[in-house]
Amino acid sequence: MTRILAIESSCDETAAAVVDDRDHVLSSVIASQVDVHCAYGGVVPELAARQHVEAIGPVVHQALEEAGAGLDSLDAVAVTQGPGLIGSSLVGVCAAKAIAWRRDLPLLAVNHLEGHIRSAFIDHPRIEFPALALIVSGGHTSLYLCPAEGEYRSIARTRDDAAGEAFDKVAKLLGLGYPGGPVIERLAEGADASAHAFPHARMKDGSLDFSFSGLKTAVRRRAVEQGLAHPEATGGEVSEETRDLAASFQRAVVRVLVRRSLTACKRERVKSLLLTGGVACNKRLRGAFRSASEREGFAFYAAAPQYTTDNAAMIAAAAFLHYERGAFAPLNINARSNFPL
Ligand code: KG4
Ligand code: ZN
């Protein structure tokens, strides 16, 4: 049996998890900072780093306690090295290095994006390769080809905003609150998603790259044209027109994500399609991916909802591959804000 303690702090969630043998999650603790950043409509890096400093100790303790695992039962300590906010990542990296040094444990440095991809394997350990993974979150919208276990090749990425960022910005401009994804999903329920047709950006060079800033601008223009009032101005009431606009926006995002992913699946002749990252908990998106994959004959695997937004169980899941290869990190590693997978 191999047991790994993993730590994640690259953005605005302080998380720790204890995982046995790749996918047996004993505990997965997540301290969210949503309340802190809510007032600003986005993550404030300085505040995030300070919150991590306060939360990291208690979160690690809680993860060990819930797992019924002592520090002496661990085989390794894993941590997200990047990419992410440098001040935030540094907190997790320092904590992991301290535990590894004090307990004489091997240290495993994990790329956050590899963590997101491996999140799909926690509940589906036998996914067939080659696979294509879409990571769709607040910071990333990227397609990776995975020819074999532990191998990743970047196929496409966003040229401007990430899809989750677009959800957050559209929610902000419509006055709906933060984070935008869950709010828009809730308000879109039962609304008319065909009220607005939004064209999706195609890349002139035939690449599968994404772009969401034009869509965000189009939503803003429609909101102005229709004279949509911010809910604050109407006592919190969200108008039907606003809900239709939110639903149309969601549909446009879902559509482009599904289309590009399926095109990549065919182009790369993969067997499996993986959906991961914070936006992947969106039920419309999951449903659209499931039916398109069935129609086109690809095996489809979405990360379990609790492993879509940032968490440490996925970091542990990725760390096992490093551990098995003996790819340990030295104790002098630093956090990396820019860390291509
Ligand atoms: O993976 P994550 O926790 O952080 C990053 O690594 O970026 O993703 C957070 C993002 C936010 O932008 C949030 O609005 C979006 O995921 N999100 C959603 C939903 N839940 C969270 N987007 C659409 N629908 C949802 N239900
Ligand atoms: Zn993430």
Residues 290-323 pLDDT 10s: 999 999 999 999 999 999 999 999 999 999 999 9
Atom of ligand 1 nearest to the CA of 309: 3
For 218-253, write each residue's pLDDT tens digit: 999 999 999 887 877 777 789 999 999 999 999 999
User: What is the residue with the minimal CA distance to atom 16 of ligand 1?
Assistant: 278
Which residue type, as a one-letter code, is found at position 93? V
Ligand 1 centre from 104 Cα, in Å? 36
User: What is the residue with the minimal CA distance to atom 7 of ligand 1?
Assistant: 138
Atom of ligand 1 nearest to the CA of 171: 14
Predicted local confidence at residue 189, as pLDDT: 96
Predicted local confidence at residue 101, as pLDDT: 98
Joined together, the tokens standing for residue 227 give: 């004279």
Ligand 2 centre from 9 Cα, in Å? 10
Q: How many CB atoms lie within 10 A of CB 304?
A: 16
Cβ < 6 Å from ligand 1: which residues?
A: 11, 137-139, 164-165, 167-168, 179-182, 185, 277-279, 281-282, 309-310
User: If you average pLDDT over residues 67-88, what whole number do you get?
Assistant: 97
Ligand 2 centre from 17 Cα, in Å? 15
Q: SS3 string of the chain?
A: CCEEEEEECCCCEEEEEEEECCCEEEEEEEEECHHHHHCCCCCCHHHHHHHHHHHHHHHHHHHHHHHCCCHHHCCEEEEEEECCCHHHHHHHHHHHHHHHHHHCCCEEEEEHHHHHHHHHHHHCCCCCCCEEEEEECCCCEEEEEECCCCCCEEEECECCCCHHHHHHHHHHHCCCCCCHHHHHHHHHCCCCCCCCCCCCCCCCCCCCCECCHHHHHHHHHHHHHCCCCCHHHHCCCCCHHHHHHHHHHHHHHHHHHHHHHHHHHHHHCCCEEEEECHHHHCHHHHHHHHHHHHHHCCEEEECCHHHCCCCCHHHHHHHHHHHHHCCCECCCCCCCCCCCC
In the predicted model, what is the mean pLDDT of the chain?
A: 95
User: What is the residue with the minimal CA distance to atom 4 of ligand 1?
Assistant: 138
User: If you average pLDDT over residues 127-154, what whole number do you get?
Assistant: 97
Ligand 1 centre from 60 Cα, in Å? 23
Ligand 1, pocket-test mutation among 279, 289, 306, 315, most atoms within 8 A of CB: 279
User: What is the residue with the minimal CA distance to atom 14 of ligand 1?
Assistant: 181
- Indicate whether 75 pLDDT > 80: yes
Q: Which ligand is nearest to the CA of 277?
A: 1
> Which is more confidently placed, 105 or 178?
105
Nearest to 90 by CA among 311, 312, 329, 335: 335
User: If you average pLDDT over residues 19-29, what whole number do you get?
Assistant: 98
Predicted local confidence at residue 235, as pLDDT: 74
For 168-210, write each residue's pLDDT tens digit: 999 999 999 888 999 999 999 999 999 999 988 778 888 999 9
Which residue type, as a one-letter code, is found at position 121? F
> Which pLDDT band holds residue 43 (cuts at 50, 70, 90)?
confident
Which residue type, as a one-letter code, is found at position 235? G
Atom of ligand 1 nearest to the CA of 308: 1
Joined together, the tokens standing for residue 171 give: 């929610």
Ligand 1, pocket-test mutation among 37, 114, 167, most atoms within 8 A of CB: 167
Predicted local confidence at residue 231, as pLDDT: 78
> Which pLDDT band holds residue 128 (cuts at 50, 70, 90)?
very high
Ligand 2 centre from 149 Cα, in Å? 20
